Amino acid sequence: MTSILVTGGTGTLGRPTVAGLRANGHSVRSLSRRTGPDVVTGDLLSGSGIPESLAGVHTVLHLATKGRTDVAASKTLLAATRAAAVEHLVFVSIVGIEAVPIGFYRDKLAIERLVAESSVPYTILRATQFHSLVEQVFVAQRYSPVILSPAFSMQPIAVEEVAERLVEVAEEGPAGRIADIGGPEQLSGRELARAWAGAAGSRRPIWSIKLPGKAFAALMAGRNMVPGPSYGRRTFAEYLSERYPADR
Ligand SMILES: NC(=O)c1ccc[n+]([C@@H]2O[C@H](COP(=O)([O-])OP(=O)(O)OC[C@H]3O[C@@H](n4cnc5c(N)ncnc54)[C@H](OP(=O)(O)O)[C@@H]3O)[C@@H](O)[C@H]2O)c1
């Protein structure tokens, strides 16, 4: 049994990861800014509660995110993990961040470098977008007369499969940057929009959107996807059929 702290343990990826670690018999603390019976309270931005949350912890899975403050939050965590003599830090990142020049991805890359340069033994796992994130892109447009879909393709993955991999990674020990993981299919934006519209019962027209700039060009070139055999097994269609049952 290993003592593990999961930052972001209350989030989309954190919840199945904490459940998977506990199912394997580990002693798991889930960090949250909130208070409650299932969490240890701490804030990576102010630093409050972080040293206490790390007392006696062997492995840290760093999944917390809040946008553009992530670099500062990660610096706080890294300093505290060093002070607490943590033996393994796992950081989850995103496929293609060095190729797609957007601010959030630059920050992710900066955190990867901080992790690699810190004295704490580490593993970095990059994943493609979760099914739920792709769904959100379309749900967010529910009041639009048309569905806008990006002209590039994506390779969405089930968050449960990312969580399963994280459990393995936590158990295997420090391995540096390991192989990226992605979902079972590379689908065009239009195919993803059609699948969502079919499942959600929307008959609105789908417009494919192309934007200028280096970031969009990198996405058009498929840099957000994983070449070679896929890791994930659960398809976007399977995810949608559970989210939008036909008999609802
Ligand atoms: N979404 C995707 O498609 C995708 C794809 C690849 C990789 N990733 C990466 O996977 C990781 C997890 O993403 P997610 O979608 O699960 O995120 P999420 O659902 O937005 O959850 C964010 C988590 O961060 C915690 N958090 C935020 N600010 C904090 C702070 N100042 N101190 C402590 N905790 C804080 C939140 O905890 P409380 O609210 O309880 O405090 C929450 O548990 C991120 O690194 C993300 O970049 C995501």
How many other CB atoms are found less than 10 A from the CB of residue 59? 25
Q: For residue 145, what are its two tokens? A: 């007369």
Q: What are phi and psi of 199, to 5 degrees?
A: -70, -40
Greater confidence (2 vs 47) lies with 47
The response to whether residue 127 sits with its C-beta less than 6 Å from ligand 1 reads yes
> pLDDT tens-digit profile of 184-219?
999 999 999 999 999 999 999 999 999 999 999 999
Find the 248 Cα to ligand 1 centroid distance in Å. 30
Q: Which pLDDT score is estimated for 143?
A: 93
Query: 112 φ, ψ to 5°?
Result: -55, -45
Six-digit token string for 128 = 């493609």
CA-nearest residue for atom 48, ligand 1, is 129
Give per-residue pLDDT as tens, 119-165.
Answer: 999 999 999 999 999 999 999 999 999 999 999 999 999 999 999 99
Nearest-atom index, ligand 1, CA of 45? 31
Nearest CA to ligand 1 atom 20: 11
CA 91 to ligand 1: nearest atom: 45
Residue 6 pLDDT > 70, yes or no? yes
Instruction: Decide whether any atom of ligand 1 lies within 6 Å of the 66 Cβ.
Output: yes
* Average pLDDT of the residues of the chain: 97
pLDDT average, residue stretch 22-41: 97
Percentage of the chain surpassing pLDDT 70?
Answer: 99
- The predicted structure's pLDDT at residue 246: 80
10 lines ligand 1 (CB under 6 A): yes
* Mean pLDDT computed over 50-72: 97
pLDDT, position 176: 98
Does residue 248 surpass a pLDDT of 70? Answer: no
- Atom 24 of ligand 1 has which residue's CA nearest to it? 64
Give the strand pairing for 59-62 and 147-150.
Answer: unpaired
Residue 31 half-sphere exposure toward CB, CA atoms < 13 A? 27
Prediction pTM value: 0.97
pLDDT attached to residue 2: 74
pLDDT score of 247 more than 90 = no
CA–CA dist 125, 127 (Å, integer): 7
pLDDT of residue 110: 98
Measure 216 CA to ligand 1 centroid, in angstroms: 24
- By most ligand atoms within 8 Å of CB, the mutation choice from 63, 68, 124, 225 for ligand 1 is 63
221: confidence class by pLDDT, cuts 50, 70, 90:
very high
| Coil vs helix vs strand at 134 | helix
Cβ of residue 8 lying under 6 Å from some atom of ligand 1: yes
